[in-house]
Structure 1
Amino acid sequence: MFAAHPARAADGFVAVPPLTQRVTDLTGTLAPQQRAALENVLAEYEQQRGSQIFVLMVPTTEPETIDQYSIRVADAWKAGRQSIDDGVILLIAKDNPPGLRKMRIETGRGVQGSLTDAVSSRILRDVMAPHFRQNDFYGGLAAGISAIQAAIDKEALPGPDRKAGNAAASALNDWLPVLFPLAIVVFFFLSAILRRGRGPQIVTGRRGWPTTTAGGLGGLGGYEAGRRWGGGGGGFGGGGGGGGFSGGGGGGFDGGGASGNW
């Protein structure tokens, strides 16, 4: 069960919850499968584009306006990438009085060229509010996220950083020039020992391991040749849409965005 009143800090303001996932619902509005569906959409977008969009639903921001509370959330969560500042926070305060506003899109500086204040206002007013007036909060959030993503896509932003996913492949590529000649030396050294001990005979993969070693060398040589001359591919980052959540790493919020009601 969710508390009837939000947690408050010592100063009496609504506390900013810790960032543990992309969609945080402190109102109990979203069903688990709905929250998971939105989470997956945001995770996949982050993996493909790099930009981060976080959703927070709270009962109220009183006594602060939603604008004041939202910038505190932005400062704490640091959505987006460092030095790119391409994060967005979509905040819903269901029980706020109209004067404090009920919903807000908070934009990082890196997306404000396409996700302008005017565009953010239209998304709230024309895309999300009609759903919310019908108590379709999942539909409103899904439509709003889609519109936000479409706006960000118009921004000339760098792609996601693949370095972490390719670390293992990169390390192997770095060591191959050393491992390949070393493996050749070991193979011929062991072959010479076996020939002296057994006389002239063929050692097969079934009765001994030199053939296996040769096969391994062939594979290693093929990989090295492909790496040097194949000209394609590269490391495999792995993983599907979702993946782990490492939190925000950016920031760059200066009050850009828009607020509204439904």
Structure 2
Amino acid sequence: MTARLLRACSTFASRCVLFFALLLAFASAASADVAVPQLTGRVVDQTGTLSSSDLASLNQKLRDFEAKKGSQVAVLIVPTTQPETIEQYSIRVADAWKVGRKKVDDGAILLVAKNDRHLRIEVGYGLEGALTDVTSRRIIDEVITPKFRTGDFAGGISDGVDRMIRVIDGEPLPAPARSTSFSNDFSDFGPVIPFALFASLFVGGILRTMLGRLLGSVATGGVLAALAWFMVGSAALALAVGAIAFLLAFIADLFPMATGPGTGYSRRGSWSSGSSSGGGWSSGSSSDSGSFSGGGGSFGGGGASGSW
């Protein structure tokens, strides 16, 4: 009798231990920190709050500002940061994304935790003199949250970003370096292709007639590279356009379709007059499409938080 009672007590105790272990496991899983999302673009919306046109407009605005000023500004919308405070989560995002230029530290992040009704502007070291805690709080209180309270999240974020950009634009910062990365520059390559093709035939025909096949082709490549540099401001893209222009000008008379009356080339490689149609091109839409990455900027917790 005593032995059976002891075995029953032991079994009950074992089940209690297992039950509490399972409760602890579920509690730990429920309280796990929210993962920092991958930086796939200047605007990352995990809530579906912004429409595709809102995303495209914001991305283009932030991309243009980076090209002009060098500073990187990013927007992140998440459902919640719980169990962390928005300040704790925001600094984890800043450490993971590293927006802003390395050693300039001119990055800023606008973070919105929609279900928590909290938001924060996280400011890199290099912008703390302009985008101060007080200024950040005023942007939140006076620009963003009034629109959030009416349900206009897209308008609040857009206006808040505009105000952040204006404040940062007044800060003396190093000029943005000319891009030399092919991986980033080729996102702008699409609209330039029709221009390179048409201009190579047009300019190449004139210069080949004046300078000969080899020198004329080299001159064509140089002229088109200079034009691409002026239009886009990218050394890598200018070199690519120049190389394509040289090649097209050099081999144009080897292809019958490229030497007809519509191209300006005669079959002997000389330039002949003729009308050309379809010489224009349309600009393509621009988006981050996963190519955006932080520049190595550092953050120290500067900025401000708010709620609505």
- The TM-score, its normalising length taken from structure 1, stands at 0.68
Conserved? CA contact 1:47–1:241, under 8 Å: no
Q: 1:135 aligns with which of 151, 154, 158?
A: 151
Q: 2:72 aligns with which of 30, 36, 52?
A: 52
Determine helix, strand or coil for the equivalent of 1:164: coil
Q: 1:214 aligns with which of 209, 212, 215?
A: 212
Q: In percent, how many aligned pairs have the same letter?
A: 49
Q: Distance in 1 between matches of 2:149 and 2:232?
A: 48
Query: Structure 1 residues 29-38 or 66-75, which shifts more?
Result: 29-38
1:138-153 aligned within 5 A: 138-153=154-169
**Greater helix share, structure number:** 2
2:302 is matched with 256
Q: Distance in 2 between matches of 1:75 and 1:10?
A: 24
Amino acid at match of 1:214: G
Verify: 1:87 aligned to 2:107, yes or no. Answer: yes
Conserved? CA contact 1:44–1:241, under 8 Å: no
- The TM-score, its normalising length taken from structure 2, stands at 0.59
Runs of 4+ in 1 over 6 A off after TM superposition: 8-11, 221-224
Verify: 1:28 aligned to 2:74, yes or no. Answer: no
Determine helix, strand or coil for the equivalent of 1:63: coil
- Which deviations, in whole Å up to 9, do the C-alpha atoms of 1:37-72 show, x marking residues without a partner? 111111111112111111000111111110000000
Verify: 1:13 aligned to 2:33, yes or no. Answer: yes
Conserved? CA contact 1:9–1:15, under 8 Å: no
1:172-211 aligned within 5 A: none
2:293 is matched with 247
Q: Residues 220 and 48 of structure 1: is their aligned pair in 2 closer, same or farther, counting only changes over 3 Å?
A: same
Amino acid at match of 1:110: G
Q: Distance in 2 between matches of 1:235 and 1:65?
A: 42
Q: CA deviation at 1:251?
A: 2.4
Q: Distance in 2 between matches of 1:213 and 1:113?
A: 57
Query: Structure 1 residues 62-71 or 242-251, which shifts more?
Result: 242-251
Query: Structure 1 residues 15-24 or 32-41, which shifts more?
Result: 32-41
Amino acid at match of 2:300: D
Conserved? CA contact 2:49–2:153, under 8 Å: yes
Q: Which has the higher contact order (CA 8 A, sep 6+)?
A: 1
Q: Distance in 2 between matches of 1:216 and 1:11?
A: 70
- Count residues with an aligned counterpart: 204
2:266 is matched with none
Query: Structure 1 residues 72-81 or 43-52, which shifts more?
Result: 43-52
Q: CA deviation at 1:111?
A: 0.8
Larger Rg belongs to? 2
Is there any run of 5+ residues in structure 2 with no aligned partner, and where? Answer: 1-27, 183-207, 223-229, 238-282
- Which deviations, in whole Å up to 9, do the C-alpha atoms of 1:228-258 show, x marking residues without a partner? xxxxx79942699946533102221000000
Q: 2:88 aligns with which of 22, 43, 68?
A: 68
